[in-house]
């Protein structure tokens, strides 16, 4: 067994846990400790709070997932004042070994280690991941996370992508009007302006403006609750449109990666679990013209794990050292 610290650092919350990795690199997480990023001046200060609360000697190895692009000399977190300098971070945290990954890259690593019961089938044929070929991992959150798992002779290789920043392509008159509305507000309308947590509010306001509807303005979390509970008819209408767009984008990305399998991940999608099958998600996913029959067969699975970011960060540790 290998002992490490796993960390999942977002713009709002930072989560830490000790993790044990077995010979296959499958993690077992210890007690999870959660902190508000805004309560600390830096990652180092937050790490010190975790170390004090955890007690004892911490492992000298860590795998840390960040909600931002990795690979730069200086990492600036979205929605946070924390600044990370990877070249000196291991020394600052007292580590001998360290792995840094993008947060959705970590989710894809989690998918490679989840047991079958944590990957239930939502749509398509019930078949395993390919021995050779790509698997698309996608999930709306603060933005739209997209990663690819490239299997080579059964061995998974996770590839981080910025697929959430592709241009949004409208597929009907309503979406053309939504796109026109959003073009007045953003320099460029990427798919994550629509398929993301805040994207539901963009759809909601756009549809209200287009239809000259009087609506109750809500924060994102409140709107999602109203939509999922069906307590506000217009919020639910916006959610129905969201599902159409989510399916279309997932299908486009599957085609780009090679349509072998798709995994939907993240907390929002888990909350949508019972609402996706009767929605227009799958009809839009398969509506790819000459490839429609192929797209119908593509397995679409849901990744289930309460702490998939932490689990994935730990799972990523052995991939590179």
* Residues in Cβ contact with 9 at an 8 Å cutoff, skipping those fewer than 6 apart: 15, 37, 43, 64, 65, 66, 67, 77, 82, 103
Mean pLDDT across 229-244: 97
d(CA 76, CA 67): 10
Whole-prediction pTM value? 0.92
Q: What is the pLDDT of residues 209-230, one digit of tens each?
A: 999 999 999 999 999 999 999 9
pLDDT at residue 320 tops 60: no
Q: What is the mean predicted confidence (pLDDT) over 140-154?
A: 94
| Options 3.30.420.40, 3.40.50.2300, 3.30.1370.30, 3.40.50.300; CATH of 2-114+305-316 | 3.30.420.40
Q: Mean pLDDT of all residues in the chain?
A: 94
Residue numbers in the known binding site for ATP are 7-12
* Whole-angstrom distance, CA of residue 148 vs CA of residue 136: 5
* pLDDT for the residue numbered 231: 97
In Å, what is the CA distance from 146 to each residue of 30, 117, 132, 226, 238? 27, 22, 20, 26, 23
pLDDT in tens, 14-23: 999 999 999 8
75/101 Cα distance (integer angstroms): 12
Percentage of the chain with pLDDT > 70?
98
Find tokens 């300098």 and name the residue.
85
273: Cβ contacts below 8 Å, ≥ 6 apart: 122, 302
pLDDT score recorded for residue 319: 53
Instruction: For residue 321, name the pLDDT band (cuts at 50, 70, 90).
Output: very low
Listed in order, the ranges of the chain carrying CATH 3.30.420.40 are 2-114+305-316
Report yes or no: 265 and 107 within 8 Å, Cβ to Cβ: yes
CATH topology of domain 163-302: Hexokinase; domain 1 (3.40.367)
* CATH 3.40.367.20-classified regions of the chain: 163-302
Give the model confidence (pLDDT) of 63-113 as tens digits.
Answer: 999 988 887 788 887 667 888 999 999 999 999 999 999 889 999 999 999
Residues 166-222: pLDDT tens digits?
999 999 999 999 999 999 999 899 999 999 999 999 999 999 999 999 999 999 999
Annotated binding site: 7-12
**Alpha-carbon distance 265 to 283, whole Å?**
19
């Amino acid at each position: 067994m290998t002992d490490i610290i796993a960390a999942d650092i977002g713009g709002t919350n930072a989560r830490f846990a000790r993790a044990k990795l077995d010979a296959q690199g499958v993690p077992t997480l210890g007690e999870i400790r959660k902190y508000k990023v805004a309560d600390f001046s830096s990652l180092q200060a937050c790490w010190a709070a975790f170390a004090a609360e955890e007690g004892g000697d911490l492992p000298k190895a860590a795998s840390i997932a960040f909600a931002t692009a990795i690979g730069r000399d200086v990492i600036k977190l979205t929605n946070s004042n924390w600044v990370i300098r990877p070249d000196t971070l291991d020394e600052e945290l007292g580590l001998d070994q360290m792995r840094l990954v993008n947060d959705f890259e970590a989710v894809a690593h989690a998918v490679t280690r989840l047991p079958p019961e944590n990957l239930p089938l939502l749509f398509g044929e019930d078949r395993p991941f390919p021995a050779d070929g790509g698997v698309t991992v996608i999930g709306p959150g603060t933005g739209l996370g997209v990663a690819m798992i490239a299997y080579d002779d059964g061995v998974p290789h996770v590839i981080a992508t910025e697929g959430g920043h592709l241009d949004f392509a409208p597929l009907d008159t309503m979406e053309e009007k939504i796109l026109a509305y959003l073009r007045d507000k953003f320099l460029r309308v990427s798919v994550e302006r629509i398929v993301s947590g805040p994207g539901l509010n963009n759809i909601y306001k756009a549809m209200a403006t287009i239809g000259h509807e009087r609506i109750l303005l809500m924060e994102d979390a409140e709107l999602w609750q109203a939509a999922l509970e069906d307590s506000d008819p217009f919020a639910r209408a916006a959610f129905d449109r969201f599902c159409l767009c989510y399916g279309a984008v997932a299908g486009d990305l599957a085609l780009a990666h090679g349509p072998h399998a798709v995994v939907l991940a993240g907390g929002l999608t888990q909350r949508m679990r019972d609402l996706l099958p009767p929605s227009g998600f799958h009809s839009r996913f398969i509506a790819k013209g000459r490839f429609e029959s192929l797209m119908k067969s593509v397995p679409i699975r849901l990744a289930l794990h309460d702490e998939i970011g932490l689990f994935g960060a730990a799972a990523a540790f052995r991939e590179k050292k």
